[in-house]
Amino acid sequence: MRFLIVDEMHPSILPLLADLGIEADYQPNIDYRQAKALISAYEGLIIRSKFFVDAGFLEASTRLRLIARAGSGLDNIDLVAARRRNIQVINAPEGNRDAVAEHVIGMLLALMNKVCQANQEVRQWIWQREANRGEEIRGKTVAIIGYGNTGRALAKKLSGFECRVICYDHKLTAYADKYAMEVSMEEVWDQADIVSIHLPLTPKTRQLITYDYLKRFRKPIYFVNSARGEIVVLKDLLKALQEGIVKGACLDVLECEKFERLQPEQSQTLELLFSMPQVLFTPHVAGWTRESYVRINEALVKKIRSFLQEENE
Ligand SMILES: NC(=O)C1=CN([C@@H]2O[C@H](COP(=O)(O)OP(=O)(O)OC[C@H]3O[C@@H](n4cnc5c(N)ncnc54)[C@H](O)[C@@H]3O)[C@@H](O)[C@H]2O)C=CC1
Ligand SMILES: O=C(O)C(=O)COP(=O)(O)O
């Protein structure tokens, strides 16, 4: 079997694949057009979020049997077209879920304790204590929206923080555990102090978080999005922040990452958000740790092994 790897991966991927008898072409700098021209020679494709594997790409993938997503999100793969062509799609959410959970907690602690703002001030010889008084997670109700791999990892890690963790998931009972209490969205809106989004990007979740959604919270909330930027209508989040409906936000993802092809309205919204000390940003690195870099490969190769075994049965 031959695999094309089109995204940057930890070098451990090559010997792991070789152990399975897979010959891999590692081409991290290849673009969509170049990959599409080559893909007919490969049975497997390993990708992260680099480009959209659309129906046209799959049409050119005449030998393709497996798409392995090194990470969690499958929103950049046309899953319907893949199924139609009998191409199996796998991912490795076990590889980066703990990284995401730690990052979310790190951002929240930094935001609620004004760490970034205070750090900037001290470096400018400004010594303000009252303006930098923090708030504790202890005793707060943390709502996790989407209780899959990253949501559950977050709940588990929060169990040491003496907070109350509630969760909402449309397939909830499948994941019930001791770290979070299942609730309805009505209960989330009524009870949450902190809200963290852990949903995949799907037609149902795209632009789910609007001003109307945010306005339904009974108390001002801290809002965290480490899932996908497209789930949140950014100008609505801005309005909610301006009105104090949202007290602060941690954003690891944006709908316009790398700031490519920005519309004037998007730039304006971002400029205003950038001017707010109660908003923290990171450049889509929540799942991007030294450890997850390696662990994703191990999880993915384990699933590739199972795929090959099933094919041979
Ligand atoms: N910032 C980063 O570095 C990373 C971001 N992600 C993003 O986070 C997303 C979530 O990751 P995982 O927890 O690994 O995914 P997952 O698939 O394990 O969990 C998602 C959960 O959301 C639930 N869900 C789906 N649609 C829903 C809806 N409309 N309403 C309520 N619940 C719904 C599912 O039932 C599932 O339990 C990924 O799809 C990816 O986009 C994931 C890993 C790293
Ligand atoms: O696993 C995921 O879904 C992620 O968002 C991780 O980031 P990546 O897209 O692999 O750069």
> Ligand 1 centroid vs 197 CA: distance in angstroms?
8
Q: How confident is the model at residue 173 (pLDDT cuts 50, 70, 90)?
A: low
Give me the CATH number covering residue 79: 3.40.50.720
- Does the C-beta of 226 come closer than 6 Å to ligand 2? no
Q: Are residues 245 and 172 in the same domain?
A: yes
pLDDT digits over 93-131, tens only?
Answer: 999 999 999 999 999 999 999 999 999 999 999 999 999
- Does the C-beta of 95 come closer than 6 Å to ligand 2? no
Q: Are residues 218 and 108 in the same domain?
A: yes
Q: Are residues 177 and 272 in the same domain?
A: yes
Residue nearest (by alpha carbon) to ligand 1 atom 3: 287
- Does the C-beta of 141 come closer than 6 Å to ligand 1? no
pLDDT digits over 186-244, tens only?
Answer: 999 999 999 999 999 999 999 999 999 999 999 999 999 999 999 999 999 999 999 99
Q: Are residues 217 and 198 in the same domain?
A: yes
Q: Are residues 82 and 105 in the same domain?
A: no
Which H or E element spans position 19? helix 13-19
Q: Are residues 111 and 172 in the same domain?
A: yes
Q: How many structural domains does the chain have?
A: 2
Q: Are residues 232 and 304 in the same domain?
A: no
Q: Are residues 264 and 154 in the same domain?
A: yes
Q: Are residues 137 and 270 in the same domain?
A: yes
> Ligand 2 centroid vs 72 CA: distance in angstroms?
6
Please check the confidence at residue 82 and state whether its pLDDT lies above 80: yes
Catalytic residues: 228, 257, 284
Strand boundaries in the chain, DSSP class E = 2-5, 23-26, 44-47, 66-69, 88-91, 141-145, 164-168, 181-182, 194-197, 221-225, 246-251, 279-281
Q: Are residues 91 and 168 in the same domain?
A: no
| Residue-averaged pLDDT of the chain | 97
- Does the C-beta of 170 come closer than 6 Å to ligand 1? yes
Above pLDDT 90, what percent of the chain? 96
> Ligand 2 centroid vs 73 CA: distance in angstroms?
6
ipTM: 0.99
Q: Are residues 138 and 236 in the same domain?
A: yes
Please check the confidence at residue 41 and state whether its pLDDT lies above 90: yes
Q: Which structural domain, as residue segments, surrounds residue 106?
A: 97-281
247: Cβ contacts below 8 Å, ≥ 6 apart: 220, 221, 222, 278
Q: Are residues 135 and 74 in the same domain?
A: no
> Ligand 2 centroid vs 287 CA: distance in angstroms?
7
